[in-house]
Amino acid sequence: MYQQTTIEIRTSGRESRDITRDVQDAVAASGITTGLAHLFLQHTSASLMLCENADPTVRADLERFMQKTAPDGDPMFRHDDEGPDDMPAHVRTVLTQSDMTLPVGNGRCLLGTWQGVYLWEHRHAGHRRRLIVTVQGD
Amino acid sequence: MYQQTTIEIRTSGRESRDITRDVQDAVAASGITTGLAHLFLQHTSASLMLCENADPTVRADLERFMQKTAPDGDPMFRHDDEGPDDMPAHVRTVLTQSDMTLPVGNGRCLLGTWQGVYLWEHRHAGHRRRLIVTVQGD
Amino acid sequence: MYQQTTIEIRTSGRESRDITRDVQDAVAASGITTGLAHLFLQHTSASLMLCENADPTVRADLERFMQKTAPDGDPMFRHDDEGPDDMPAHVRTVLTQSDMTLPVGNGRCLLGTWQGVYLWEHRHAGHRRRLIVTVQGD
């Protein structure tokens, strides 16, 4: 059985946003108890991340790490049609993930205690992001 | 239903090569309309990437980013049996992906408007690369 | 058909540990011959990696690369509740993977000749790590 749905998420600019509840709700709505949930973000300047969910400093540090690794406006980057954060957003997406599969058991994603699912917006402007959730199983 | 096929791709040395059509053709051939397509590259010195598909400068910038992050011939690397690009190729593979799952709807991969699927050859010499495509669904 | 099992792996501190046999055993035990095997690590300071399996120097070089990219005790990192390797472990996890899907054919994972599956412990202390393996197929 395959249940496919699209969730639209409005971001408010560069941020990592907890979407764990949206994902768990989609799994619950599917009626599937054992199987897998697949997440797919249809964009190349925002990405998915599994991250520690207790201390927001972790995500602030990750943000700082990425800003250092792929700095906005780095003269190394030639693609800047949409501004100094254009190419860094693509680099950050490639270094993280656009798709993610999570195990489903007892009708929910079997995340670890400290794992949360985050949508990481890499552009400074807010965007509407489309996440396709496909739940499969029995 | 599971349809599994292997695609052989000849690369011409370090390059990112658009394989979106190969993947869409494999999905179409499977006859599956709703489900998932899984891609798996059987190598550790080439990888898969979802990337912006409109401006080739994006991939040139990604290439430059990787050359700076894991430079060929970096004395930090001790494994160089196959030359100065040997170990950087492994690093680049680990930082990107060897497997990728894409949602399938209406008989095709539901990619975003600006998303393309690329095989990223990290070695300077051309190679024959094997991609296993497994399509599942109804 | 979906077969789900949890494997507990005790690490002995920062190391990359070959778990290919554990994964192949789980696939064999499932009785599934064609399909996919999904691995999910329920932690944010250890990760999964597909890596060259012949020369251990490759993994030593990857370890050195990560230590340079996200150094223990880097003053850039503010989250250090569990010590100087706390935040680097999260960064290393985000740059690699927590979930991985492998194609299954003839009752085993169809890995390339030089591909091994590794659990990468990023903390200096040993930990008990939980890996959920979900095998699906016919």
In this predicted structure, what is the pLDDT of residue B27? 98
Answer whether A40's CB lies under 8 Å from A99's CB.
yes
Question: Which of C63, C65, C106 to substitute to test the interface with B, most B CBs within 10 Å?
Answer: C65
Q: Which DSSP letter does residue C97 get?
A: B
In degrees and rounded to multiples of 5, residue B128 shows phi and psi of -90, 120
How far is it, in rounded angstroms, from Cα C34 to Cα C26? 14
CB contact under 8 Å between C138 and B99, yes or no, is: no
Report, as an integer, the average pLDDT of B120-132.
98
Out of 2.60.120.460, 1.25.40.10, 3.40.470.10, 3.40.50.200, the CATH code matching C2-137 is 2.60.120.460
With contacts defined as CB-CB under 8 Å, which chain C residues touch A52? 44-45, 90
CB contact (8 A) between residue B103 and residue A38: yes
Q: Among positive and negative, which fits the CA dihedral B20, A137, A5, A28?
A: negative
Quick one: which H or E segment has residue A51? strand A46-52
Sign, Cα dihedral of C130, C21, C35, B117: positive
Tokens of B62: 């990604």
What secondary structure does DSSP assign to B50-107, as a single string? Answer: EEE-S-THHHHHHHHHHHHHS-TT-TT----TT-TTHHHHHHHHHHSBSEEEEEEETT
**Backbone angles phi and psi of A86, in degrees to 5:** -65, -60
**d(C-alpha A119, C-alpha B87), whole Å:** 31
Residue A41 with chain B: CB contacts under 8 Å: 112
Per CB-CB distance under 8 Å, the chain B contacts of C62 are 90-91, 94
Three-state SS for A85-138 is: CHHHHHHHHHHCECEEEEEEECCEECCCCCEEEEEEECCCCCCEEEEEEEEEEC
| ipTM exceeding cut-off 0.95 for this assembly | yes
pTM value is: 0.98
Question: What pLDDT is attached to residue B37?
Answer: 98
- Across the interface, whether the CB atoms of A78 and B68 are under 8 A apart is answered no
pLDDT in tens for each of the 138 residues of chain C? 999 999 999 999 999 999 999 999 999 999 999 999 999 999 999 999 999 999 999 999 999 999 999 999 999 999 999 999 999 999 999 999 999 999 999 999 999 999 999 999 999 999 999 999 999 999
